[in-house]
């Protein structure tokens, strides 16, 4: 596959991934699809408010996707200069995807913010914010591998499952984005050195 077609394929693939990241992060702002919690951000998981899916995996990847896609087309960007610039846009995409990956991984590892039945809001699964009143030991299996501990969170309802699914999705999307942007960095380098290998018009007889 020539570098131009490869860039077009990568750019096209990044569009839906960036959109999915934005949607997943927006959904995380509404645990169990309830609006009341977004009105009090102290009741939301801190990593959600970092907007890794919106700013990182979303916007920071969307701009590179637009340029990379344009580079793969037969327009003004389909040249060595366009390929060279795509390397820097890809770096932006790598940073954005990495930011999304890190924040989502932290959110998944530390667990959600929830009300544990005591009237107080905390993160019962976080080793840094462990509540001694709760019957939960961090020396045992991680909460991700023991779904019986998820009942510790009373409000929002099913917030643990809600966060786990969406954070896992963000991690998956950002890993794919990271891989595609890294591939485009290499592809952009070859395109800068060798050209986009697009079809040339036949010379008039």
Helices 3-28 & 159-194 angle (0-180, nearest 10): 160
Residue 115 DSSP one-character state:
E
CB atoms within 10 A of CB 165: 14
Q: Report the SS3 class of residue 122.
A: strand
Q: Across residues 3-28, what is the average pLDDT?
A: 93
- CA gap 143, 126 in Å, rounded: 9
pLDDT digits (tens, 9 = 90+) for 148-174: 889 889 999 999 999 999 999 999 999
Query: In the chain, pLDDT over 90 holds for what percent of residues?
Result: 51
Q: How many CA atoms lie within 13 A of 56 on its CB side?
A: 27
Residue 195 DSSP one-character state:
-
Q: Is the pLDDT of residue 204 over 80?
A: no
Cβ(31)–Cβ(156) under 8 Å? yes
Q: What is the CA radius of gyration of the chain?
A: 22
pLDDT digits (tens, 9 = 90+) for 123-139: 988 876 555 555 455 54
Q: Which residue has 């924040």 as its token pair?
A: 103
pLDDT digits (tens, 9 = 90+) for 98-120: 999 999 999 999 999 999 888 88
Distances (CA, A) of 175 to 83, 87, 125, 197: 23, 18, 25, 29
Handedness of CA 83, 89, 91, 94 (dihedral sign): negative
């Amino acid at each position: 596959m020539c570098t131009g077609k490869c860039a077009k394929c990568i750019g096209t693939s990044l569009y839906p991934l960036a959109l999915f990241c934005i949607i997943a992060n927006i959904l995380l702002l509404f645990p169990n699809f309830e609006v009341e919690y977004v009105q009090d951000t102290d009741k939301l998981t801190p990593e959600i408010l970092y907007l890794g899916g919106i700013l990182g995996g979303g916007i920071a990847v969307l701009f590179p996707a637009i340029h990379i896609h344009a580079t793969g087309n037969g327009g003004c960007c389909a040249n060595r200069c366009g390929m060279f610039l795509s390397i820097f846009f890809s770096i932006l995409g790598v940073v954005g995807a990495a930011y999304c990956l890190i924040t989502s991984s932290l959110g998944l590892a530390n667990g959600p913010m929830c009300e544990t039945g005591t009237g107080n809001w905390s993160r019962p699964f976080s080793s840094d914010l462990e509540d001694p009143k709760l019957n939960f030991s961090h020396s045992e299996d991680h909460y991700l591998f023991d779904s019986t501990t998820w009942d510790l969170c009373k409000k929002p309802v099913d917030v643990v499952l809600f966060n786990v699914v969406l954070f896992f999705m963000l991690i998956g999307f950002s890993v794919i984005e990271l891989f595609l942007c890294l591939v485009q960095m290499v592809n952009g380098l070859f395109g800068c050195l060798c050209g986009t290998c697009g079809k040339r018009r036949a010379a008039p007889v």
